[in-house]
Chain A
Amino acid sequence: MSEKDRPLLIEAQDFNGLLLSLKRLGYATYAPTVRDGAIVYDLVDSADDLPIGIGDVQEPGSYRLRKRGDGSFFGFVVGPHSWKKFLHPPTVKLFTINSNGKIVANLENSDQKLAFIGVRPCELQAIKILDKVLLGGEYLDIVYASRRKDVFFVVVNCIEPGGNCFCASVGTGPEAKDGFDLCLTELLKPDGHYFLVRIGSEKGRELISSVHYRQATDEEVELASRLLTLSSEHMGKKLEIKGMKELLYRNLDHPHWDEVAKRCLTCGNCTMVCPTCFCTTVYETTNLSLKYAEKWRSWDTCFSQEFSYIHGGPIRYSISARYRHWLMHKMATWMDQFGTLGCVGCGRCITWCPVGIDITEEVKQIDKRDGEVKVKVE
């Protein structure tokens, strides 16, 4: 390791300094914080707003917080929110138009500088994926593009994976490799509470120089890397992605789709919590005088029948076909569309499914009974 690339070390008490510096630079600082029994992402004023000493316990269909009994800042994994809500808002007014066809108000709120603090490696990958989907094609998504212009990423590696995490299987974590401004690994040592810091950009370098830091020792660097290796060995879930796309493509008629459909409530939770699901719908509202109309856009879910509706009826009228569409999109067709998986292994869809449907388990079922075909009733 050249001295220039050597990670730095800051003390936990200096973390707040980073936050304040970001604010001074004009960034709106978003970070994890506790609300209504869950860890959510919101504006924070200081490190005191972080979920200090809080952990989470996740299982299929279940999520709760626990007291860890330590002073960790990032002792939890991902909650119901993802950063997508800031870049690709759940609802947004696209424009207001008057009855003469003149657009009288355009997108609001689009020139903010955003600092995302405590972004997990899988979530960073999710944003890279959204970049491809919403900025990488012939046409830009202007909402996303305008919010994505100036984002500062403080990534925190995962030393304690959650019960539904499988980032190691899909290669998105538990350690971020690039694409961040700063990447931290939290170290709770008997002699104190530190963050090992890797710098990913010039902006990151400038920010770190605003607080007290020193070079990390070999021992500290090794500790971090040992913790991350252990972490990747202790993922709550596993998924075999080798040959997965082909497996799914050749099993469009597998009976397991119907078996999942018996449990699926089509609530769409999985698509709402998923950090990469990007689908939206648009609608118009008018005022009573019919002088103005507003065009709104909201997240949509492929689990509804309306989603695929065309004159005559929905394309995917059965639950089985809708679940198949969702899973196939995440795990197979996304590859052909954007050259990457649509899943980053964050486990949210497993945790927040009210009946505990587990995407890794459903793929396994199909793999186990590869080639089975359901009896056709035409």
Chain B
Amino acid sequence: MVSSGQAQLVVKEETALRWMSVSKVVKETVDTYTLYLKPRTGERFSFKPGQFNMLYVFGVGEVPISISGDPKNLNHIAHTVRAVGAVTNSLTKLREGARVGFRGPFGNGWPIDEAVGNDVLIVAGGIGLAPLRPVIYHLINNRQDYGKVFVLYGARTPNDLLYKKELKSWKGRMDMDVLVTVDKGDETWKGNLGVVTMLFDYVKLNPDNTYAFVCGPEIMMRFTVINLKNKGLPDEKIFLSMERNMKCGIGVCGHCQFGPYFVCKDGPVFRLNQIKMFFGKREV
């Protein structure tokens, strides 16, 4: 039945499958690669730190991947991908010139505006640094808008550390404290040993004006929250990026539920007091 005169459904730009091409690939670790993607000529893409895209590989599928680059560099949209399964394996095999499908950006992102005028503490575990790297770029780009900046980063081994070049240059800056630790060192490692929460011993936080942005495995976030509470940070200034299975990214497939929230549209970043009833509960 042809129904003429009916309004065409308006599909928002970010929900349509679009394409970018790989402009550069950086091997971060043995299984993790950063793909820099260039929007097609005439197309623009911008995002907020903490947002993610659904990346699509022809014939394989689509997965949520955080945007991990500088929010000001709109010609090289970075995604740091760890190969753990079908789609992420295909993504990490792509090389310069390859085409990547995407929908997005989705999600709320970190409260970088709300944090203006305050100290910012970033705590990342493993691949959890990826969605936080845009925040670090943003803080550097707008350094005068924020107070002290701390970055605490932990990985399993020295070989698992992401963004080694950037870490080095950030460490060299006078205007931020960057501390790195690994669970297990090797012959050449001279840095900190132990889990990321151990780094709290080395920073002096002002609980009255510090925003904490945390991303990593849930167990790591749990212990980080305990440490932040011990330091006296209020729940309202602790932000966590949650991970759940995602199929749609737009709030209709139901997969990413976390208590009453949909991580894709209400998150992935949550204020601790918002999720208190569920955070740390098993299997929610």
B243 to A, closest residue via Cβ: A310
Bound-state Cα–Cα, A103 to B19, Å: 12
**B9, B58, B244: which contacts A293 (Cβ < 8 A)?**
B58
Interface string of B70-92 (1 = CB under 8 A from A): 00000000000000110000000
Residue contacts A-B, CB under 8 angstroms, 24 given? A97-B58, A101-B99, A111-B2, A113-B1, A133-B252, A134-B252, A137-B252, A139-B12, A139-B252, A139-B265, A281-B247, A282-B62, A282-B247, A284-B60, A290-B59, A300-B254, A300-B255, A315-B244, A316-B283, A317-B283, A318-B283, A321-B283, A325-B257, A333-B257
Evaluate contact between A138 and B251: CB separation under 8 angstroms: yes
Bound-state Cα–Cα, A138 to B249, Å: 12
Give chain A interface residues in 291-322, CB to chain B under 8 Å: 293, 300, 302, 307-311, 315-318, 321
Contacts of B174 in A (CB 8 A): none
Residue B15 interfacial (CB < 8 Å): yes
Evaluate contact between B19 and A146: CB separation under 8 angstroms: no
Evaluate contact between B247 and A302: CB separation under 8 angstroms: no
Residue A340 interfacial (CB < 8 Å): no
Evaluate contact between B3 and A113: CB separation under 8 angstroms: yes
Evaluate contact between A146 and B253: CB separation under 8 angstroms: no
**How many CB-defined contacts (below 8 Å) exist between A and B?**
115
Evaluate contact between B1 and A310: CB separation under 8 angstroms: no
Known contacts: A101-B99, A302-B254, A308-B245. The answer to whether A315 contacts B283 by CB under 8 A is: yes
Known contacts: A149-B6, A284-B61, A310-B243. The answer to whether A252 contacts B15 by CB under 8 A is: no
Residue B30 interfacial (CB < 8 Å): no
A25 to B, closest residue via Cβ: B1
Bound-state Cα–Cα, A280 to B59, Å: 19
The interface residues of chain A, by DSSP majority, are classed as mixed
Contacts of B251 in A (CB 8 A): 137-139
CB distance from B54 to the nearest CB of A (A): 10
Ranked nearest first, the 9 interchain pairs of A and B with the lowest CB-CB distance are A279-B254, A321-B283, A336-B260, A139-B250, A333-B260, A293-B59, A286-B59, A311-B84, A141-B252
Give chain B interface residues in 159-192, CB to chain A under 8 Å: none
Residue A329 interfacial (CB < 8 Å): yes
CB distance from A317 to the nearest CB of B (A): 7
CB distance from A286 to the nearest CB of B (A): 4
Bound-state Cα–Cα, A310 to B1, Å: 43
Evaluate contact between B60 and A103: CB separation under 8 angstroms: no
Residue A105 interfacial (CB < 8 Å): no
Contacts of B203 in A (CB 8 A): none
Contacts of A112 in B (CB 8 A): 1
Residue A150 interfacial (CB < 8 Å): yes
Bound-state Cα–Cα, A113 to B1, Å: 7
Residues of A within 8 A of B (CB): 26, 28, 97, 99, 101, 103, 111-113, 133-134, 137-142, 145-146, 149-150, 249, 252-253, 278-284, 286, 290, 293, 300, 302, 307-311, 315-318, 321, 324-325, 329, 332-333, 335-337
Evaluate contact between A310 and B245: CB separation under 8 angstroms: yes
Known contacts: A249-B277, A293-B59, A310-B243. The answer to whether A321 contacts B282 by CB under 8 A is: yes
Residue B262 interfacial (CB < 8 Å): yes
The interface residues of chain B, by DSSP majority, are classed as loop
Contacts of B62 in A (CB 8 A): 282
Bound-state Cα–Cα, A322 to B46, Å: 38
Give chain B interface residues in 215-274, CB to chain A under 8 Å: 243-245, 247-248, 250-255, 257, 259-262, 265
A279 to B, closest residue via Cβ: B254
Evaluate contact between B283 and A279: CB separation under 8 angstroms: no
Contacts of B60 in A (CB 8 A): 284
Evaluate contact between B6 and A280: CB separation under 8 angstroms: no
B85 to A, closest residue via Cβ: A311
Known contacts: A252-B281, A333-B260, A336-B260. The answer to whether A283 contacts B244 by CB under 8 A is: no
B253 to A, closest residue via Cβ: A280
A378 to B, closest residue via Cβ: B282
B281 to A, closest residue via Cβ: A252
Bound-state Cα–Cα, A300 to B253, Å: 9
Residue B147 interfacial (CB < 8 Å): no
Contacts of A282 in B (CB 8 A): 61-62, 247-248, 253
Interface centre among B85, B247, B251, B254 (most CB of A within 10 A): B254
B82 to A, closest residue via Cβ: A311
CB distance from A114 to the nearest CB of B (A): 10
Contacts of A139 in B (CB 8 A): 12, 15, 250-252, 265
Evaluate contact between B3 and A150: CB separation under 8 angstroms: yes
Contacts of B12 in A (CB 8 A): 138-139
Residue B101 interfacial (CB < 8 Å): yes
Contacts of B259 in A (CB 8 A): 333
Contacts of A336 in B (CB 8 A): 260
Please give 16 more A-B residue pairs, beta carbons under 8 A apart, in addition to A321-B283, A324-B283: A101-B58, A111-B2, A137-B250, A137-B252, A139-B12, A139-B250, A142-B9, A253-B281, A279-B253, A280-B247, A280-B248, A282-B62, A284-B59, A315-B283, A321-B282, A337-B262
Interface centre among B243, B250, B261, B282 (most CB of A within 10 A): B282
A336 to B, closest residue via Cβ: B260
Evaluate contact between B245 and A252: CB separation under 8 angstroms: no
Contacts of A101 in B (CB 8 A): 19, 58, 99, 101
CB distance from A152 to the nearest CB of B (A): 13
Contacts of B255 in A (CB 8 A): 279, 281, 300, 307-308
Contacts of A307 in B (CB 8 A): 245, 255
Bound-state Cα–Cα, A279 to B62, Å: 17
Bound-state Cα–Cα, A329 to B9, Å: 29
Known contacts: A26-B1, A139-B15, A249-B277. The answer to whether A146 contacts B9 by CB under 8 A is: yes
Residue B17 interfacial (CB < 8 Å): yes
